Every structure is written in structure tokens, then in C-alpha cells.
């Protein structure tokens, strides 16, 4: 009886191990792009700039995909 109980416990344990999520971590590489921009599932070639809440889209990307009429005067440009 003990053998059956141990065998059943072992089988249950093996099934439990198989159902655990994968713990392997894979480092993402976006073709060497450190801050990729994705648009409709496609990665744009131009990277973003800044970090955290200061993350910014390049002006040409904004003009091409968001607002074609957007212009920036030299007095409005902030140095990083």
C-alpha cells in the first residue's frame, strides 16, 4: 500500500513540475536599438531618446506618424 501511495505521489509531483511556468530569462535584443519605437507592431529604425518620464520621440518620427503640421522653432529646443 505504501508503494502505491509513494508512486502516486511521485507521479503527481512530476506532473506538477511540468505545469510550472518557465523560469528562463531571455535578454531582449531589438537589433542593437537601445530604445526601440514600435508602431502597429513594427519596429521603427529611429530610437527614442531620454529615460523614464523624460523619454522622447524624435521630431521626424512625430512629424511622419503623429502630426505632419508640427514644427519646432529653435527657441523651443531644450538641450539634454
Bridge partners, residue 39, by sequence: 42
Our CA angle for 46, 47, 50, nearest 5°, is: 145
Task: Give CA–CA dist 34/67, Å, rounded.
Answer: 25
Strands (E), the chain: 37-39, 42-44
Write the pLDDT tens digit of every residue in 17-74.
999 998 899 888 898 898 999 999 999 999 999 988 899 999 899 999 998 888 877 6
What pLDDT shows up at residue 23? 87
Amino acid at each position: 500500500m505504501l508503494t502505491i501511495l509513494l508512486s502516486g505521489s511521485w507521479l503527481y509531483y512530476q506532473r506538477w513540475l511540468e505545469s510550472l511556468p518557465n523560469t528562463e530569462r531571455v535578454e531582449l535584443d531589438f537589433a542593437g536599438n537601445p530604445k526601440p519605437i514600435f508602431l502597429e507592431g513594427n519596429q521603427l529604425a529611429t530610437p527614442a531618446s531620454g529615460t523614464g518620464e523624460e523619454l522622447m520621440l524624435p521630431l521626424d518620427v512625430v512629424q511622419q506618424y503623429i502630426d505632419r503640421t508640427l514644427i519646432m522653432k529653435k527657441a523651443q529646443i531644450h538641450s539634454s
